[in-house]
């Protein structure tokens, strides 16, 4: 039997798609980045299989104002990432990420499988040599970061390169399996305009639907303010499997 193929728009609505296919260059990003220590068991628990947690409880939190062309445009966004490994390749995985616009939400979730949710509009505040920002969802503070700019540094090492996502494509039919993909992406073209480091702080919170307080900091490793740009290219699907809803699953790694 012949397989019919045809070309059509990259996303819905097909007559006027809200975004194009990758790449999505980041023209400008103003980021507060704080790396901190948390309970290694808690951090490992937010990493879904088949990814393997690495990093011994180190968490990278970020909040920033970002401008991307060809995709979501301008938005306020942040979240946390943790170290992972998949089939010998080390990278980062983001269990929580919030963004302020539907454009950024759609691109992140639909194209790459990012776990994005909407947050209220915000900005990176300038207070003398201080930079601070927060993620607020429906009035509740989810994450807050701050750094005091005390000296210049090499901010490029803070920017992600190898990223993994677990993309879930739910099935609307209970008799038809959902799809689960392991997606890998390598960011390129990093350009740092300026980077400063100094004393910093992080505060995790939550609401009834999203709780980052479970990944509370025990100590701050380093804090940065970075202005940079990079390219967000197409990604690779490393694994795709059919999955069914697990009604007795209580944890991100299937723990009961």
77-93 pLDDT per residue, tens? 999 999 999 999 999 99
**Residue range 219-236: average pLDDT?**
98
56-79 pLDDT, tens digit per residue, is 899 999 999 999 988 889 999 999
Please say whether the beta carbons of 229 and 29 come within 8 A. Answer: yes
86-114 pLDDT, tens digit per residue, is 999 999 999 999 999 999 999 999 999 99
Sheet holding 140-148, edge to edge: 125-127, 130-137, 140-148, 200-204
* Token code pair at residue 33: 């980045």
* Token code pair at residue 35: 């790396």
**Residue range 237-247: average pLDDT?**
88
Greater confidence (61 vs 20) lies with 61
- Give the CA count within 13 Å in the CB-facing half-sphere of 129: 12
Q: Could you tell me if residue 73 is left (phi over 0), alpha (psi between -120 and 50 degrees) or otherwise beta? A: left
* Token code pair at residue 232: 């967000």
Is the pLDDT assigned to residue 3 strictly greater than 90? no
Burial zone of 73 (CB within 10 Å; 0-12 exposed, 13-18 middle, 19+ buried): middle
Sorting pLDDT into bands at 50, 70 and 90, what band is 55?
confident
Is the pLDDT assigned to residue 247 strictly greater than 60? no
Domains recognised in the chain with CATH numbers = 26-243 (2.40.400.10)
N-to-C CA span, the chain: 45
Please say whether the beta carbons of 178 and 171 come within 8 A. Answer: yes
Please say whether the beta carbons of 155 and 224 come within 8 A. Answer: yes
29-46 pLDDT, tens digit per residue, is 999 999 999 999 999 999
- Cα angle vertex 114, ends 112, 116, to 5°? 135
**Residue range 124-133: average pLDDT?**
97
d(CA 248, CA 11): 34
* Token code pair at residue 209: 């639907």
Tell me the whole-structure pTM to 2 decimals. Answer: 0.91
Is the pLDDT assigned to residue 255 strictly greater than 70? no
């Amino acid at each position: 039997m012949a397989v019919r193929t045809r070309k059509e728009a990259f996303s819905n609505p097909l007559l006027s798609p809200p975004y194009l296919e990758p790449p999505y260059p980041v023209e400008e990003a103003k980021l507060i980045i704080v790396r901190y220590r948390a309970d290694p068991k808690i951090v490992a628990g937010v990493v879904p299989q088949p990814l393997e947690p690495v990093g011994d409880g180190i968490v990278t939190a970020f909040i920033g104002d970002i401008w991307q062309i060809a995709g979501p445009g301008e938005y306020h966004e942040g979240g946390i990432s943790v170290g992972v490994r998949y089939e010998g390749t080390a990278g980062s995985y983001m269990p929580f990420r919030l963004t302020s616009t539907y454009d950024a939400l759609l691109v992140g979730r639909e194209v790459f499988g990012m776990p994005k949710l909407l947050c209220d509009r915000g900005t990176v505040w300038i207070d003398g040599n201080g930079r601070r920002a927060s993620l607020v969802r429906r009035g509740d503070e989810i994450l807050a970061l701050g750094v005091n700019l005390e000296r210049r540094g090499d901010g490029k090492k803070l920017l992600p390169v190898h990223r993994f996502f677990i993309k879930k494509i739910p099935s609307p039919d209970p008799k038809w399996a959902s799809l689960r993909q392991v997606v890998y992406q390598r960011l390129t073209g990093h350009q740092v305009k300026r980077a400063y480091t100094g004393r910093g702080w992080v505060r995790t919170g939550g609401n009834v639907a999203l709780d980052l307080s479970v990944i509370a900091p025990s100590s701050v490793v380093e804090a940065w303010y970075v202005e940079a740009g990079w390219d967000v290219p197409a990604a690779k699907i490393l694994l795709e499997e059919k999955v069914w809803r697990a009604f007795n699953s209580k944890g991100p790694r299937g723990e009961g």
